[in-house]
Structure 1
Amino acid sequence: MRVFLIAGEASGDKLGAALMAGLKSLTEVEFIGVGGPLMQAEGMQSNFPMDELSVMGIAEVLPKYRHLKRRMEETSQAVLKAQPDVLITIDSPDFCLRVAARVKEQSNIRTVHYVAPTVWAWRAGRAAKMAKKIDHVLALFPFEPPYMQAEGMECDFVGHPVATEPVADPAAAQAFRAANGIGDKPLLMLLPGSRRGEVSRLAPIFGQTLQTVLAARPELKLVIPTTANVTDLVREQVSDWPVKPLVLSPQGQDKDAYLAEKRACFAAADAALAASGTVSLELAATNTPMVIAYDMNWLSRQIIGRMLKVDTVTLVNLVSDTRAVPEFIGADCKPSKIAAGLLEVLDNPGAQLDAMRVTMERLGRGGEAPGLRAARAVLRGLGQGAH
């Protein structure tokens, strides 16, 4: 069996590698395509560096548009030449779905897209457009298949990777507290995003929020885990905060050592104030109560606010079908409102526990690994059974 895969960023590389491992455990398979180090470690030689596709935003894409367009054409032709049993595109829809469209125009090669678009939240028309070039969707969330199936695509919920990723045990959490002089004091984790624009917008709001929170809870300790690309910006943003947070950085650290430290930090925290996104699921995995806050520029806020189809953007709320996690989005992303919500969570940290447990169960905790479930779904789609 020959499989052509395309991933365009680190999260897709991780999903792709797990899927490849699953396929290898079930059948004889040859991999070709575009991927990062994790997919290459599973046996694929990337046609070109995946990093070339890891660009976001109009300002970043425009200077590279001609090069990206050339890579789209090269990749489409590579798929057509290889004549694989299946083309699997992983997230990165701007690139991947254009390649799938070109392939469909010139062949009947089966196409699978891994990660459903968030049509349940906004821009529902994307599903109908996607159906013209995609046969089968692998979904991360259990509520997504009906949206894809309604447009004529096959869709399988295969589970979310966060449900099977390792979490720190209580001993690791205590060791983290001891190593950083926290002891038994309450610890608040702050997660203002992993992109520079997010950090620049949210860190000042978080700082103002903390003035109120610290006045009520002067014993509170603060910690901010960062990614390498924003560490220096975070340190700059927090330099005038009334209490200096501990800033965790992967810079100069072994990757695995940093990930272990970050997991211990999540487990050690009593509560978190976080940007909207997948991080809410990471917090749920460690039973860390949270408040979600997010804002964007004025124009984006107006446009997205009018298009939004759901009353919450927090994934824990959506998956658990509750509204247990307080969120302050857009016009509500105000320090006074966030502070009140955070103090309430610190006073009653157990209020979210049931919603977090349900979330992890529904995302596949305790079940088969998502990569293997995805592999079985791909094979079923090819008529090769569940094995």
Structure 2
Amino acid sequence: MVAGEASGDLLASLLLQGARQRWPQLQARGIGGAHMEAEGFVAQWPSEALAVHGYSLEVLRRVAGIWQIRNELRQQLLAHKPDLFVGVDAPDFNLGLEEDLRAAGVRTVHFVCPSIWAWRPERVHKIRRAADHVLCIFPFEPDLLARHGIPSTYVGHPLANTLPLEPDQAGARRTLGLPEVGEVLALLPGSRGSEIQYLAPRFLDAARLLQKQRPGLQCVLPAVPAQYQRVRQLVREAGMEGQVQVVKGQSHAVLAACDVTLIASGTATLEAALFKRPMVISYAMHPVSAVLMRRKQLQPWVGLPNILCRDFVVPELLQDQATPRALAAAVNDWFDQPARIAAVRARFTELHHVLQRDTARLATDAIAQVLSR
């Protein structure tokens, strides 16, 4: 298995739980993180090693090391072929590797359909060459893949089974040492180094503005362990120490505890929707990367909740629009409109039911069929 970044590590761990129930003697190794290791996975490299995003110099500095990792892993897997290779997201890394392994007779499954419905539609041809089967987490994806002759199964989103329909906000606040009464804002600037660089200072400046406008507002920022010290330093540099509580990990507790979240576009936005939390989605990157990404975009939305609802149910402030003042104003709009919050929570509850499936059984059933061919 290869899972890139924190979100892939979590998804892969949930798949491993189901696989171990079906195949108790399962041995799994490759690239993964702490969640996967808790399920007995042997991580030869950490998931964070693949955590890059965008174009230009910010990625080129890392790309040589990433390709070296992929070449070493490819050589290992071709020398000692596994019964199955599962690539979890990270399509730029995994699809090429899957293509080589499949050509050598190794069965391959790709977990999480690449977002060909959002950008880079030409990637569908590579998916067809790379994957024996695709496990889809969104209900509209199998029909799209079938048009291109790619076998797939909708397995639901694992998080929809893991996260409760009704979050325990009071319990989460007690866990984090927050007052049970009062407004709480969650700041989630992402887990990648580039996201921290471009988003965290804007989020902290927005939080400063909001705390002036809303006395008593509590701000909490969960940081992945690899970025914890860097985030703490950014909070100190922003003069927000004591005003923003930084916690190591615990992003789910933070989302359960908050009233509103200011959040980076990505998987975390879907987690926030499953927690029924109103949000302001933001993203910023190197200007060259932003231009190239915008040219490839196929839909008017970038946030997963908006894509799945086919509507701007939550605001998106991207790149130059993501000023601290604009971010603070969008967050304020949520706090000031309780009826709007109730409406979006109802919408997210409907979405939760759509994504809730017996993911472990459906995924292992599909994998068993691949193995039996």
| TM-score normalised by structure 2 residue count | 0.84
2:46 match: secondary structure: helix
Q: What residue number does 2:182 align with? A: 185
Q: What residue number does 1:173 align with? A: 172
* Cα distance in 2 between the residues matched to 1:211 and 1:13: 33
* Cα distance in 1 between the residues matched to 2:266 and 2:22: 33
Q: 1:106-133 deviations in whole A, cap 9, x for unaligned? A: 33x4422111111111111111122122
Q: What residue number does 2:346 align with? A: 354
1:49-88 alignment runs, 5 A limit: 49-51=44-46, 54-55=49-50, 56=52, 57-63=59-65, 65-79=67-81, 84=83, 86-88=84-86
Q: What is the letter of the counterpart of residue 72 of structure 1? A: R
Q: What is the letter of the counterpart of residue 131 of structure 2? A: I
Q: 1:88-119 deviations in whole A, cap 9, x for unaligned? A: 33223344322322233333x44221111111
Residue-pair matches, total: 359
Q: What is the letter of the counterpart of residue 318 of structure 1? A: I
Structure 1 window deviating more from structure 2 (209-218 vs 352-361): it is 209-218
Task: Determine whether 1:164 maps to 2:161.
Answer: yes
Q: Provide structure 1 residue ranges, at least 5 long, that are not aligned to the other structure.
A: 251-257
Instruction: Give the drift of 1:273.
Output: 0.8
1:234-383 alignment runs, 5 A limit: 234-239=231-236, 240-241=238-239, 244-250=242-248, 259=250, 262-348=251-337, 349-364=341-356, 367-368=357-358, 370-382=359-371
Q: 1:48-107 deviations in whole A, cap 9, x for unaligned? A: 71328833333123145445323322223322xx5x3x4433223344322322233333
Structure 1 window deviating more from structure 2 (55-64 vs 354-363): it is 55-64
Distance 1:151 1:220, change over 3 A: same
Instruction: Give the drift of 1:308.
Output: 0.5
Structure 1 window deviating more from structure 2 (204-213 vs 182-191): it is 204-213
* Cα distance in 1 between the residues matched to 2:226 and 2:48: 17
Structure 1 window deviating more from structure 2 (187-196 vs 163-172): it is 163-172
Distance 1:134 1:165, change over 3 A: same
Task: Determine whether 1:106 maps to 2:104.
Answer: yes
Q: Is the 8 A contact 1:322 1:355 kept in 2?
A: no
Q: What is the letter of the counterpart of residue 355 of structure 1? A: R
Instruction: Give the drift of 1:26.
Output: 4.2
Q: Is the 8 A contact 2:206 2:324 kept in 1?
A: yes
* Cα distance in 2 between the residues matched to 1:224 and 1:340: 19
Q: Is the 8 A contact 1:225 1:249 kept in 2?
A: yes
Q: Is the 8 A contact 1:76 1:100 kept in 2?
A: no
* Cα distance in 2 between the residues matched to 1:23 and 1:264: 27
2:226 match: secondary structure: coil
Instruction: Give the drift of 1:212.
Output: 4.0
Q: Is the 8 A contact 1:228 1:249 kept in 2?
A: no
Distance 1:87 1:70, change over 3 A: closer
* Cα distance in 1 between the residues matched to 2:6 and 2:256: 24
Q: Is the 8 A contact 1:291 1:327 kept in 2?
A: yes
Q: Is the 8 A contact 1:140 1:158 kept in 2?
A: yes
Q: Is the 8 A contact 2:132 2:370 kept in 1?
A: no
Q: Is the 8 A contact 1:114 1:137 kept in 2?
A: yes
* Cα distance in 2 between the residues matched to 1:53 and 1:241: 29
* Cα distance in 1 between the residues matched to 2:149 and 2:113: 14
* Cα distance in 2 between the residues matched to 1:41 and 1:188: 30
Q: Is the 8 A contact 1:214 1:220 kept in 2?
A: yes
Q: What residue number does 1:115 align with? A: 112
* Cα distance in 2 between the residues matched to 1:185 and 1:8: 37
Distance 1:154 1:29, change over 3 A: farther
Instruction: Give the drift of 1:138.
Output: 0.5
Q: What residue number does 2:87 align with? A: 89
Q: Percent identity?
A: 30
Q: What residue number does 2:56 align with? A: none
Q: Is the 8 A contact 2:270 2:304 kept in 1?
A: yes
Question: Please, which of 14, 18, 21 is the counterpart of residue 18 of structure 1?
Answer: 14
Q: What residue number does 1:218 align with? A: 215
* Cα distance in 1 between the residues matched to 2:223 and 2:44: 25
Q: Is the 8 A contact 1:76 1:99 kept in 2?
A: no
Q: What is the letter of the counterpart of residue 126 of structure 2? A: K
Q: Is the 8 A contact 1:328 1:338 kept in 2?
A: yes
* Cα distance in 1 between the residues matched to 2:232 and 2:28: 42
Q: What residue number does 1:255 align with? A: none
Distance 1:6 1:238, change over 3 A: closer
Q: What is the letter of the counterpart of residue 283 of structure 1? A: A
Q: Is the 8 A contact 2:29 2:44 kept in 1?
A: no
Q: 1:243-280 deviations in whole A, cap 9, x for unaligned? A: 84332333xxxxxxx64xx5443222111111111111
Quote the RMSD (CA, aligned, Å). 2.9
Q: Is the 8 A contact 1:224 1:245 kept in 2?
A: no
Q: Provide structure 2 residue ranges, at least 5 long, that are not aligned to the other structure.
A: 53-58
Q: What is the letter of the counterpart of residue 61 of structure 1? A: V
Instruction: Give the drift of 1:40.
Output: 6.0
* Cα distance in 2 between the residues matched to 1:243 and 1:27: 48
Instruction: Give the drift of 1:298.
Output: 0.6
Task: Determine whether 1:126 maps to 2:123.
Answer: yes
* Cα distance in 2 between the residues matched to 1:242 and 1:13: 31
* Cα distance in 2 between the residues matched to 1:11 and 1:371: 17
